[in-house]
Amino acid sequence: MTRNYGHQLLIALDQLGNALIAGWADETISARAWRSRTKPRWGAARIAIDAMFFWQDEHCKQAHASEIARLHSAPGDRPQ
């Protein structure tokens, strides 16, 4: 299993988890936590998720930026 395959699989599982909690199917929980950070529960979730990914500065903010840039999409589907 290549690193890219494993990374894509983790993203897919994350997106499934978000869909299961009534979120958008193509959004990760981290991206949702950033987008919804002004809501009390999601603000707390963002802090917890960022703490879990302590080696990344502002993990949730970066995840949201990746969603906006469609970096999780197939290379041919990404904006030029």
Q: pLDDT of 23-65, one tens digit each?
A: 999 999 999 999 999 999 999 999 999 999 999 999 999 999 9
Question: Would you say the pTM of this structure is higher than 0.85?
Answer: no
Q: Where are the domains of the chain?
A: 3-77
User: What are the structure tokens assigned to 33, written together?
Assistant: 């936590």
